[in-house]
Amino acid sequence: MIIASDDNPLAERKTLASQDLVSQPFIMPEAGSGLRELIDGFLLRIGMDPERIKVSMTLGNPELIVQMVQSGIGISLVSKWSVFRAIKDGSVKLLNVPGKKLRRKFYLVSLEKESSTLVAAKFRDFIKGYRFFVPL
Protein backbone atom coordinates (compact mmCIF):
# COMPACT_ATOMS: atom_id res chain seq x y z
CA MET A 1 0.00 0.00 0.00
CA ILE A 2 1.18 3.52 -0.75
CA ILE A 3 0.78 5.67 2.35
CA ALA A 4 1.19 9.31 3.36
CA SER A 5 0.64 11.25 6.57
CA ASP A 6 -2.84 12.64 7.11
CA ASP A 7 -1.55 16.19 6.45
CA ASN A 8 0.29 15.38 3.18
CA PRO A 9 -1.29 17.32 0.26
CA LEU A 10 -1.61 14.08 -1.75
CA ALA A 11 -3.75 12.53 1.02
CA GLU A 12 -6.71 14.74 0.04
CA ARG A 13 -6.79 13.56 -3.57
CA LYS A 14 -9.02 10.66 -4.62
CA THR A 15 -6.62 9.32 -7.25
CA LEU A 16 -3.05 9.99 -8.27
CA ALA A 17 -0.94 9.53 -11.35
CA SER A 18 2.53 8.08 -10.98
CA GLN A 19 3.98 11.53 -11.79
CA ASP A 20 2.40 12.88 -8.59
CA LEU A 21 4.67 10.62 -6.54
CA VAL A 22 7.92 11.84 -8.15
CA SER A 23 8.00 15.06 -6.13
CA GLN A 24 7.58 13.26 -2.80
CA PRO A 25 10.36 12.13 -0.46
CA PHE A 26 10.22 8.35 0.03
CA ILE A 27 10.97 6.29 3.10
CA MET A 28 12.15 2.96 1.77
CA PRO A 29 13.05 -0.47 3.12
CA GLU A 30 16.69 -1.50 2.94
CA ALA A 31 18.22 -2.17 -0.48
CA GLY A 32 18.48 -5.89 -1.17
CA SER A 33 15.44 -6.80 0.93
CA GLY A 34 12.60 -8.74 -0.66
CA LEU A 35 10.19 -5.87 -0.02
CA ARG A 36 12.55 -3.34 -1.62
CA GLU A 37 12.84 -5.51 -4.75
CA LEU A 38 9.05 -5.78 -4.90
CA ILE A 39 8.69 -1.99 -4.54
CA ASP A 40 11.34 -1.29 -7.19
CA GLY A 41 9.50 -3.59 -9.61
CA PHE A 42 6.19 -1.87 -8.84
CA LEU A 43 7.72 1.57 -9.42
CA LEU A 44 9.03 0.43 -12.81
CA ARG A 45 5.56 -0.88 -13.75
CA ILE A 46 3.96 2.49 -13.00
CA GLY A 47 6.59 4.30 -15.05
CA MET A 48 8.93 5.51 -12.31
CA ASP A 49 12.63 4.75 -12.32
CA PRO A 50 13.49 3.66 -8.74
CA GLU A 51 16.88 5.38 -9.13
CA ARG A 52 15.19 8.75 -9.71
CA ILE A 53 12.91 8.90 -6.69
CA LYS A 54 13.91 11.03 -3.70
CA VAL A 55 14.75 8.61 -0.90
CA SER A 56 14.82 10.64 2.30
CA MET A 57 15.40 7.66 4.58
CA THR A 58 16.10 3.92 4.41
CA LEU A 59 14.93 1.75 7.29
CA GLY A 60 14.79 -1.97 8.02
CA ASN A 61 11.76 -1.96 10.33
CA PRO A 62 8.23 -1.68 8.82
CA GLU A 63 6.73 -0.20 12.01
CA LEU A 64 9.42 2.47 12.05
CA ILE A 65 8.68 3.28 8.40
CA VAL A 66 5.01 3.82 9.31
CA GLN A 67 6.02 6.07 12.23
CA MET A 68 8.20 8.20 9.95
CA VAL A 69 5.32 8.53 7.47
CA GLN A 70 3.00 9.51 10.34
CA SER A 71 5.42 12.26 11.32
CA GLY A 72 5.35 13.67 7.77
CA ILE A 73 8.91 12.85 6.71
CA GLY A 74 7.79 11.21 3.47
CA ILE A 75 5.58 8.62 1.79
CA SER A 76 6.18 4.90 1.55
CA LEU A 77 4.98 1.56 0.25
CA VAL A 78 4.30 -0.91 3.03
CA SER A 79 2.41 -4.10 3.80
CA LYS A 80 -1.21 -3.66 4.86
CA TRP A 81 -0.32 -5.57 8.00
CA SER A 82 2.19 -2.98 9.18
CA VAL A 83 -0.09 0.01 8.53
CA PHE A 84 -3.53 -1.28 9.55
CA ARG A 85 -3.62 0.42 12.98
CA ALA A 86 -2.36 3.78 11.64
CA ILE A 87 -5.02 3.79 8.92
CA LYS A 88 -7.68 2.90 11.45
CA ASP A 89 -6.71 5.79 13.75
CA GLY A 90 -6.50 8.20 10.78
CA SER A 91 -2.86 9.24 11.14
CA VAL A 92 -1.99 7.69 7.77
CA LYS A 93 -3.91 7.86 4.49
CA LEU A 94 -3.82 5.46 1.56
CA LEU A 95 -2.77 6.92 -1.78
CA ASN A 96 -4.60 5.47 -4.76
CA VAL A 97 -2.83 5.00 -8.11
CA PRO A 98 -5.69 3.58 -10.23
CA GLY A 99 -5.17 0.29 -12.00
CA LYS A 100 -1.94 -0.42 -10.19
CA LYS A 101 -1.82 -3.18 -7.60
CA LEU A 102 1.16 -4.21 -5.55
CA ARG A 103 0.94 -7.92 -4.86
CA ARG A 104 3.42 -10.03 -3.00
CA LYS A 105 3.87 -13.75 -3.57
CA PHE A 106 4.75 -16.18 -0.83
CA TYR A 107 6.25 -19.61 -1.39
CA LEU A 108 6.05 -22.85 0.53
CA VAL A 109 9.26 -24.85 0.54
CA SER A 110 9.71 -28.43 1.70
CA LEU A 111 12.41 -31.06 1.49
CA GLU A 112 10.16 -33.76 0.11
CA LYS A 113 7.43 -33.87 -2.49
CA GLU A 114 5.07 -35.55 -0.04
CA SER A 115 4.81 -34.63 3.63
CA SER A 116 6.34 -37.18 5.96
CA THR A 117 3.60 -36.95 8.60
CA LEU A 118 -0.13 -36.35 8.69
CA VAL A 119 0.44 -33.19 10.76
CA ALA A 120 2.86 -31.80 8.15
CA ALA A 121 0.39 -32.59 5.34
CA LYS A 122 -2.48 -30.90 7.22
CA PHE A 123 -0.32 -27.86 7.92
CA ARG A 124 0.67 -27.60 4.23
CA ASP A 125 -2.99 -27.84 3.17
CA PHE A 126 -3.95 -25.18 5.74
CA ILE A 127 -1.28 -22.77 4.52
CA LYS A 128 -2.20 -23.28 0.85
CA GLY A 129 -5.89 -22.65 1.55
CA TYR A 130 -5.53 -19.75 3.98
CA ARG A 131 -6.74 -16.33 2.80
CA PHE A 132 -5.75 -13.23 4.71
CA PHE A 133 -8.35 -10.55 5.22
CA VAL A 134 -7.91 -7.05 6.53
CA PRO A 135 -10.85 -4.68 5.99
CA LEU A 136 -9.18 -1.70 4.29
* 123 in any annotated domain: no
| Total domains present in the chain | 1
Q: What is the pLDDT of residue 128?
A: 81
Q: What is the pLDDT of residue 57?
A: 94
* 130 in any annotated domain: no
CATH number, domain of 81, equals: 3.40.190.10
* 29 in any annotated domain: yes
* 135 in any annotated domain: no
* 133 in any annotated domain: no
DSSP codes joined into one string, the chain: -EEEETTSGGGG-S---HHHHHTSEEEEEPTTSHHHHHHHHHHHHTT--GGGSEEEEEES-HHHHHHHHHTTS-BEE--HHHHHHHHHHTSEEEE--TT-----------SSSS-SSHHHHHHHHHHHH-------
* 17 in any annotated domain: yes
Q: What is the pLDDT of residue 132?
A: 63
Q: What is the pLDDT of residue 29?
A: 92
Q: What is the pLDDT of residue 8?
A: 94
Q: What is the mean pLDDT of each run of 10 residues along the chain (136 residues)?
A: 92 86 91 87 85 91 94 91 88 82 74 78 83 59
* 136 in any annotated domain: no
* 74 in any annotated domain: yes
Domain that residue 46 falls in: 2-95
135 HSE (CA, 13 A, CB side):
1
